[in-house]
Structure 1
Amino acid sequence: MSRISPFRRKLAALKYADWKNFDISNRQHIQALVVWLEQTKIRHYSVEARGPLKKTESAKWDECLNDYLEELDSPYRLKSTSSSTNKEDKEQMKAQELEWTYIIDWMLSEAILCEYSDHKDELNERKPIRRKEKTVYELENCGSTKEMNNALKDLCAFLRIPMHPTDNAVTCQTILTFIKDKFNPMSIKNYEEYIKDKVNTQHSKTSNDDDHWVRTQSYKDIIRFYPEMINFSTGDEMVDAATIILRALYIVDVRNAQNQFSEILNFLQKFTSDPKTNAEKGKVGW
């Protein structure tokens, strides 16, 4: 079976003519590739010195290859030189094929490095081609009727989120993201804990007038109600308010991560703190 997958991309990058059919188990393919790499890419030897390496039919070609690899400071050498096909030599053939894999892969990497060195100015000027992907909303074709606009306006008012002035798809996507984030099991659990703590403390007031989130109507209210969330000023109150919001969101994310980590620990402790015991087998925990 032809084993070209480890080398396909490197051979194609080097524009090797027979890159699709290269077979690491075929000695002739290997010899042809080694000679081609030295002649066109690596070029370590002078033209006259390449003679022994080009004599692929010579019995001393393997020795020439090892000398060549030593001059290139390669960490690999060809140790198994037997080309027997007898059944008792299958293990040796497999070991030799593995050696060829290491050697060819290293030589291809060296050739790519030489290719880059020859054309680095041209290659460094190239810019990656970035695909421009348009954002596709899940509710792209939701329409824009008067009845729907009124319903979205009421829903946004209920959820206390802004409504996009012209694009209902953006508004619907915002509502969807908000519901997924705020009404997931972890958020509901945190809210239930908050309500429980509020009832138990008796120091909390029940009036909405004491709820800063309800009373917040502008960015100035955010700065006034949460001065402890920011210990510096940018000189722009709107930027300061945005900083406070981002810091609050970060704290929420950290708390959610801590809660999830605690759940993982609690789950794992079910196995570590209460191991199952099989007295008959003399085994504790499995």
Structure 2
Amino acid sequence: MFRRKLLALDYMNPDTFNVNDDKGFRDLIVWLEDQKIRHYKIEDRGEIKAIDSKDWPTAYKKYLGELNCPASPNERAAVVDWLLGLSVRFEYGDNAEKYKSETSDNVKNKHQAAPKVVNTNPLDALDFQSAEFRDGVNNLAKQLNITPHADHLVTLKAVSKLIRTRLSAEALQNPGEFVHQGKPYPIFEADLGFDTGDYVLNNAGKALRLMYIHDLRELQTRINECIVSVQNITANPKTDTKLGKVGR
């Protein structure tokens, strides 16, 4: 009964979705929030994305309440139908111009005329919320000496950043330009400038300050690169000496 809406939203498994399957139901809620509804900020989606947590039902009820869902949390079919309808409305609102010219006739003609495209990208078939995927990400992080985050997708971002910056072909060929050498900065021995009264909070403040300084330096580097690029254009005018005059 949900297939048409799931297809319209480009859900990955519209034909096999079963509202009575706990994992499938929770995965759909997370996917709709991540991809279509986006009620929470990314950093605030931890509770609703923790589908294996014993506290997930509480987060789920809270989520429906904040969305003003009229269906009871226990009525799964009604909840899914309402959330899909809300997602379709948001999808149309985000792409109104795209859908204005669509009618039932030309959509039907497109489906009849267009060849069926088989997606061969294996990444599209992955279940990013599955236990197997989470274990794979955490194992990869362990091999790279990265501390796993409670949200495995955050861990995946850290893994991706490390691979891009330290394990790229350019970095492997010239490691000295990408891997900092010398004695590590004693971050936790530095003076924070104020005291929170808590040792752990003080260390967290030192780490955050260092990350902030790192971001500022990266921003300054990009600004300098922009200035140099502009100067290369404006500070090297081409002069045609044949147009000049000597004397009166």
Q: If the length of structure 2 is used for normalisation, what is the TM-score?
A: 0.41
Q: Which has the higher contact order (CA 8 A, sep 6+)?
A: 2
Q: Which structure: larger Rg? A: 1
